Amino acid sequence: MLAHVQALAGEIGPRGTGTPGEAAAADYVCKQLTSLKLPIERRSFRAVSSQNAFPVAVNLLGLLAVVVYPLGGALTRWIGAALALSTPVLLWQTITNSNNVLRPFLPQVSSSNVIAKIEPRGAVRQRAVLLAHLDTNRCRLVWRTGMVRSLVPLTYLYFGVLAFLGLLYLAGALFDAPAWFWWVSLLPAAYLVGTIVTLWKDDRTPFSPGANDNAASVAVSLEVAARLSAKPLSHTQVWLAFTGAEETDHAGLTTLLREHGAALRQAAFVDMEGVGGGEIVYLTRQGLVFPYRPDPALVAAAERAASRLPEAGIRPAEVTVEDEVRALREAGFRAICIAGIDPETAALPHWHRADDTADTVSPEALERAMKFVLALLEDLDRGQLDPAV
């Protein structure tokens, strides 16, 4: 497995969404799956080029409200209020869906998924999907190890500023407020300008090598594929989904669900994030300011699988990280995340940092994660989580 990590994070290197590095990672995964004689499906799609594009667009909409509000009489005040009140809603959409209605106006790039299936020995009675994303994020100024504890208060502050601007303009429109209302609004406007500058600088940082996030998960998924190809499960068809654009708008997962959602409606999705170091855990609560939880039946299966591997020290955990599980749970799918957690930072190891290199990945952590994923799949196969395919 370490050889896969070295190939992805060392030889290919940073794999930003829509970059040649991400495409090379997809090529590498295709080659490995072909060597296992597995049929491959590769799908291209369009994805937003940066996670920061959404909040920048929201801020620009807020600033447009500031410009429009004082231009005329009641009409422009109401237009300004409507624009400003839409911004916290759009931010909520961004956090909960990695998307919002402004997406068609944002810069986009081409990305791709790689999908393979491993058939069971007997009749297919259920399906399980292993998710591991191919792309890496930038070495973020805030969204990184060491800043995790600041993410929640900063997000609440951001919501507060947007809500204040919207409510201020709503009051101005309702009560024909004097001109000083607009002068007061320049304070939140200044915050929005400062945020845009910060996000612009953030998008000038280099892409992370992404050894832990997420070459380690790709490596574990490839090893699970090799083992299940040699010894398939009894009645569970296992899908291996290597998604693109997880770090921006989850367009890879969205494409997977659009094309195969009907077949996977009752599937068990097992997402993997940062399993190259720290403690290997299964997440029971995630999210920034709108927490979400995994499927209860998958949590119970994870508990049983962990109990059969006491030497691995697998435990439940709660983290701030946002991942593809949110999108799955919001859409009503069964999903759970297996993650590596740095006990000192309560975040993924070397998350969104330049030192997320192959030499930081622990072979022991990869082995624990691989054995746990296999144990979880075997438990699902024995228990028949789904009543029908």
Same domain, 285 and 160: no
Same domain, 294 and 182: no
Average pLDDT over residues 251-279: 97
| Banded pLDDT at 290 (limits 50, 70, 90) | confident
Q: What is the pLDDT of residue 16?
A: 98
Burial of 149: CB neighbours in 10 Å, binned 0-12, 13-18, 19+: exposed
Q: Please name the residue ranges forming H helices in 69-147.
A: 74-97
Same domain, 6 and 34: yes
Same domain, 126 and 266: yes
pLDDT in tens, 80-98: 999 999 999 999 999 988 8
Q: Tell me which of 180, 202, 224 is where a domain ends.
A: 202
User: At residue 384, does pLDDT exceed 70?
Assistant: no
CATH number at residue 346: 3.40.630.10
Q: What is the pLDDT of residue 97?
A: 85
Assigned domain for 116 exists = yes
Burial of 303: CB neighbours in 10 Å, binned 0-12, 13-18, 19+: middle
Same domain, 294 and 358: yes
User: At residue 47, does pLDDT exceed 70?
Assistant: yes
Assigned domain for 85 exists = yes
| Banded pLDDT at 4 (limits 50, 70, 90) | very high
Total number of domains constituting the chain? 2
Backbone phi, psi, residue 71, to 5°: -70, -30
Average pLDDT over the chain reads 95
Assigned domain for 193 exists = yes
Assigned domain for 183 exists = yes
Q: What is the pLDDT of residue 385?
A: 63
Q: Tell me which of 154, 175, 202 is where a domain ends.
A: 202
| Banded pLDDT at 169 (limits 50, 70, 90) | very high
Same domain, 358 and 379: yes
For residue 3, give every residue at least 6 positions away whose Cβ sits within 8 Å of its Cβ, in sequence order, or none: none
pLDDT in tens, 101-132: 999 999 999 999 999 999 999 999 999 999 99
Same domain, 353 and 275: yes
Same domain, 193 and 301: no
Average pLDDT over residues 370-388: 85
Q: Tell me which of 187, 202, 217 is where a domain ends.
A: 202
User: At residue 300, does pLDDT exceed 50?
Assistant: yes
Q: What is the pLDDT of residue 256?
A: 98
Q: What is the pLDDT of residue 210?
A: 98
Return contacts of 168-173, CB within 8 angstroms, 24+ apart: 168/84, 169/65, 169/69, 169/77, 169/80, 169/81, 169/84, 169/85, 170/81, 170/84, 170/85, 172/69, 172/77, 172/80, 172/81, 173/74, 173/77, 173/78, 173/80, 173/81
Assigned domain for 389 exists = no
pLDDT in tens, 22-44: 999 999 999 999 999 999 999 99
Q: What is the pLDDT of residue 388?
A: 40
Hey, what are 158's tokens? 């951001």
- Alpha carbon of residue 380 to chain centroid: 24
Name the least confident of 28-37, 226-235, 312-321: 312-321
Same domain, 196 and 214: no
Assigned domain for 151 exists = yes
Assigned domain for 169 exists = yes
User: At residue 389, does pLDDT exceed 50?
Assistant: no
Name the least confident of 186-200, 293-307, 322-336, 375-389: 375-389
Backbone phi, psi, residue 181, to 5°: -60, -45
Range of the domain at 166: 53-105+144-202
Same domain, 185 and 43: no
| Banded pLDDT at 288 (limits 50, 70, 90) | confident
Same domain, 281 and 135: yes
Same domain, 265 and 281: yes
pTM (2 d.p.): 0.95
From the CB of residue 304, how many other CB atoms can be counted at a distance below 10 Å?
A: 16
Backbone phi, psi, residue 45, to 5°: -160, 170
- Residues forming beta bridges with residue 279, ordered by sequence position: 341
- The CA–CA distances, whole Å, from 86 to 174, 186, 348 equal 17, 18, 33
Assigned domain for 84 exists = yes
| Banded pLDDT at 147 (limits 50, 70, 90) | confident
Hey, what are 286's tokens? 């995630």
Average pLDDT over residues 146-162: 92
| Banded pLDDT at 376 (limits 50, 70, 90) | very high
